[in-house]
Amino acid sequence: MQAIAAQLSAEQIADTAAYYASLPGAAAGVKSAQLPNVAKTGVTFPEGYKDSFTKYHTINFPATKQVRYYYANKAAVAAAKAGTPLPDGAALFVEVHSAKLDDGKPVTGADGFFVADKLLLYTAMARDAGWGKDIPEMLRNENWNYAVFATDKTQRPGVNQAECLACHKPLNNVSYTFTLKQLAEAK
């Protein structure tokens, strides 16, 4: 899987993710029956991220009519650029927006990306010392923890981190990060 993930283009990854999300009873229903519930997370809302983080990537999600913006803190960018694994202290943060629609179709801007309409939620992954210790080995992503935040910056309740951990786990060779290549190329 990690070999496959490494070969996928951003668009293919987006399509894959959208495909999973579109399956009946996707993530939430089907998988959580088999997965333990991992609710505790060390990830907090990164206040001031617009100033302190680097926006390193954008992906269109045609199936869900969304556009997502990817941000990373300094520790993450520095490591990715140096070609070293993302260290404790690294944080990745995603704004999920609905796309502006015209006649039900996403409007594409001059940059080729969907024009953002409304901010829907944020997803986040971050790591720090000891954050992996309570997570069963079969799910653990070293010290990475995951979280979803609502637009009011509060953590969305009822998120089972086991789903995040399970899907990112095969990417252990690339710091559990789907967009590591784009992060290394951040400007």
Q: Which residues bind ligand HEC (CB under 6 A)?
A: 13-14, 16-17, 20, 27, 59, 68, 70, 92, 94, 123-125, 146-148, 159, 163-164, 167-168, 177-179
Nearer to ligand HEC, 14 or 139 (CB): 14
Q: In whole angstroms, how close is the CB of 130 to ligand HEC at the nearest point?
A: 19
d(CA 106, CA 140): 37
Token readout for 141 is 């992503």
> What minimum distance in Å lies between the beta carbon of 178 and ligand HEC?
3
**Cβ at position 104, least distance to ligand HEC in Å:** 22
Name the minimum Å distance from CB 103 to ligand HEC.
26
Nearer to ligand HEC, 13 or 184 (CB): 13
Instruction: Find out whether 111 and 94 touch, Cβ atoms under 8 Å.
Output: no
Nearer to ligand HEC, 99 or 164 (CB): 164
Q: Is 153 exposed, middle or buried (0-12, 13-18, 19+ CB in 10 A)?
A: exposed
DSSP labels for 27-92?
Answer: THHHHHTTSPP---------TTHHHHSEEEEEEEETTTTEEEEEEE-HHHHHHHHHT-PPPTT-EE
Judged by beta carbon, residue 49 or residue 70, the one nearer ligand HEC is 70
